Amino acid sequence: MLTKKLQPVQSFLSLVSRSVGHFPRQHYDVIVVGGGHAGTEAAAAAARLGAETLLITQKIHTIGALSCNPSLGGVGKGHLVREVDALDGLCGRAGDWAGISFSILNRRKGPAVWGPRAQLDRQRYREFMQSELLSTPRLTVMEGSVEELLVTDPNPEQPGQHRVNGICLANSSHPISASSVVLTTGTFLSGSLFIGQTTSPGGRIGDAPSSAGLSHTLRERLGLKVGRLRTGTPPRIVKDSVDLSLATLNPPDSSPTPFSFMNTHTRCRPEEQLPCYLTYTTPGVERVVRESLHLNCHIQQDAKGPRYCPSIESRVLRFPGRRHQVWLEPEGLTSDLLYPQGLSMTMPPDVQLRLIREIPPLHKAEIHMPGYGVQYDFVCPTQLSPSLQVKSTQGLFLAGQINGTTGYEEAAAQGLWAGVNAGRRALSKPPVALSRTESYIGVLIDDLVSRGVTEPYRMFTSRAEFRTSLRPDNADLRLTLKGFELGCVSSSRHQKAVRVKNSLQDALAALQALSLSTTSWKRKIPDVHVSEANSNMLSGIEMLQYKDVSFQVLASIFPEVLLPFMEFSQRLKIEAVYRPHCESNKREIQRIQEEENMSLPEDIDYLSLPVSLSQEVREVLHRARPSTLGAATRLEGITPAAVVNLFNYVCFAEKRKKTSHGNQRRQKEGREEELCASLPQ
């Protein structure tokens, strides 16, 4: 089933008009700045938590806009979408509603690294996100541009040199206060657009950049280290001008797999899905790139671009003489445009047309909108805590591309977690963190705050040490129950997750109880090679680990026991296959968690610490200021010996602190006894 039905157009438009026309009140629990993938998830999460939330965006009708590629998920990225959904986020359900071509990438490998992915209908995705946000309780959406942050003196009882308690809007004399502010400015923070030798301010074509005052506040008032990154997008091509017969057809999966654990099917029926097409660059493409470098100021800039989604100019210069893949992707069920994935470019429009016509299927192609580049400010993320709050500034949270990441999925994951913590702070609750041992979101945030970025960060499964445990299929078991305890997961989702968890446990117990000799199993399943040399008894779980043994096969042999669990057949097969790996993972995770859970004092002075640490290590620790020993171990330049010395120092300091408190308590008790003895009887 699909859990979302869009409201009628009349009702939807009335919601928009009310949100635009209604002047907000003067105080909110949480203010979210920016209506992209990070901002929408942050605002919705804070509101679900119970915080009165205000989402400020330049244009309400661009909420949920897919600024670049019309797709969601992929290897690593699909894991993030599933985890955001497990925490009751929006993008997974939006993907199921707007998807027009679904596939599981990496299917030739194990399920732990499968990548759920979908091509999206841009209009449907935007409509879903706007409808969802504009009908969310405790969430107000308004159009506006934030001029600057309200900065005051910090609360002396909490760490930090500053406190942000609201925002000032451009063209308004009325500040709006809040306990927490979440910045999700995307590419709009001092953004600049590049086409050929032309530069203009903006974060997306057709939209203005964020106020210069906001960037100035971050740099000058708050003293944050700010860098510069770049990205780009390809031209949009008129579909009817493309000869798709010269490209290779790439059909979607015959049975679409939903992103959301709450959905059993997608809105788009299997037969309605649209295919993608694959083609390649030619030597002519490389020639055009080289001949036009002097006309391309974006490619000559020092700002770092995305390594894993580079422009065609960067690919040609980095890998000369190669042919490069170009995917021709649909932009919607009724759209007359194609998105040429792999052809991000920033040369002049007439040169872009020359270039794409060097590719056989595009030899007569027409460009609807030229490609362009964007440069924007980002805040070095090592200045953030694992809650995504700025360490030096109370009440200020950052999420999305402002933290140096690239991609919708990475932004959505950060936005959700920043929204959760911003809401918790506003409701006087302590911050929470996700460990890299329990989620890809934890891996993402830990990488950012511990290691920082030198180029736009993209999620891969290889970044996770425990990827056999952190699979797309079990994100609900890992995160939904925790999310319910935090308050960001609905009761209906929680009830479903509990039912799934209990059913899987019962099914695994039933499989474990099916214990037979190898001879008996061979008689029951003669087509599967079970070595008779193994005299041990084998359980149903162990049999399910064989490649050719499915849960359906076992259920046909033991129908009374296993047929009640048929709806979980694929999940049970995956659980059985990965059980040996997960058991060894648990032992390693336990060791890591012991390190993760050892907090490092927030006021520790690494530069003068009386411990044997090299000056390089001291500077790394001083700059990154990790919150736990586990985070310290992953910092670049931190040696195992340094970790041991730091561990011993913290243990010694804690022991000395406890001894000191004990002595103070005994001294106090002694004084009280002396006082009692001196009183008249």
In this predicted model, what pLDDT tens digit does every residue of 253-287 receive, in sequence order? 999 999 999 999 999 999 999 999 999 999 999 99
Give the full edge-to-edge strand order of the sheet including 276-280.
248-250, 276-280, 325-330, 337-341, 236-238, 367-369
Task: Encode pLDDT of 391-412 as tens digits.
Answer: 999 999 999 999 999 999 999 9
Q: 297 near 40, Cβ under 8 Å?
A: no
pLDDT of residue 640: 62
Q: Say yes or no to pLDDT of 616 above 90.
A: no
pLDDT of residue 8: 45
**How far is it, in rounded angstroms, from Cα 115 to Cα 106?**
6
pLDDT of residue 143: 94
The burial of 333, by beta-carbon neighbours within 10 Å (0-12 exposed, 13-18 middle, 19 or more buried), is given as middle
**How far is it, in rounded angstroms, from Cα 316 to Cα 326?**
13
What residues form DSSP beta bridges with 168?
A: 148
* Strand spans (E) along 471-617: 516-517, 537-538
Q: Say yes or no to pLDDT of 429 above 90.
A: yes
Q: 114 near 475, Cβ under 8 Å?
A: no
**How far is it, in rounded angstroms, from Cα 119 to Cα 102?**
7
The average pLDDT across 204-220 equals 85
pLDDT of residue 360: 97
Q: Which DSSP symbol is given to 204?
A: B
| Residue 248, SS3 per DSSP | strand
Q: Say yes or no to pLDDT of 18 above 50.
A: no
Q: How far is CA 618 from CA 385, 392, 614, 643, in A?
A: 19, 19, 6, 12
**How far is it, in rounded angstroms, from Cα 444 to Cα 405?**
9
Name the token pair of 4.
Answer: 């979302």
Q: Which of 403, 309, 408 has its CA nearest to residue 64?
A: 408
Higher pLDDT, 671 or 220: 220
pLDDT of residue 21: 42
Q: Say yes or no to pLDDT of 17 above 50.
A: no
How many other C-beta atoms can be found within 10 angstroms of the C-beta atom of residue 269?
9
Lowest mean pLDDT among 221-230, 300-309, 380-389, 449-458: 300-309
Lowest mean pLDDT among 205-219, 220-234, 396-410, 489-503: 205-219
pLDDT of residue 603: 83
Pairing of the two strands 99-105 and 162-169:
unpaired
Q: Say yes or no to pLDDT of 644 above 80.
A: no
HEC string of 287-351? HHHHHCHHHCCCCCCCCECCCCCCCHHHHHHHCCCCCCEEEEEECCCCCCEEEEECCCCCCCHHH
Higher pLDDT, 616 or 159: 159
Residue 131 exposure: Cα atoms within 13 Å on the Cβ side: 19
* Biggest CA-to-CA distance, the chain: 108
Q: Which of 28, 241, 228, 238 has its CA nearest to residue 141?
A: 28
Q: Mean pLDDT for the chain?
A: 89
Q: 650 near 627, Cβ under 8 Å?
A: no
Going by C-beta distance under 8 Å and a sequence separation of 6 or more, which residues neighbour residue 145? 58, 169, 170, 171, 208, 210, 211
Going by C-beta distance under 8 Å and a sequence separation of 6 or more, which residues neighbour residue 161? 154, 223, 392, 393
**How far is it, in rounded angstroms, from Cα 403 to Cα 448?**
8
**How far is it, in rounded angstroms, from Cα 491 to Cα 514?**
35
Lowest mean pLDDT among 100-104, 339-343, 638-642, 665-669: 665-669
Going by C-beta distance under 8 Å and a sequence separation of 6 or more, which residues neighbour residue 299? 293, 311, 313, 314, 317, 346, 373
Q: 235 near 343, Cβ under 8 Å?
A: yes
pLDDT of residue 593: 65
Q: Torsions phi, psi of 510, nearest 5?
A: -65, -40
- Please state at what angle helix 491-513 crosses helix 475-486, rounded to 10 degrees: 140
pLDDT of residue 184: 97
The burial of 645, by beta-carbon neighbours within 10 Å (0-12 exposed, 13-18 middle, 19 or more buried), is given as middle
Assign 172 a pLDDT band (cuts: 50, 70, 90): confident
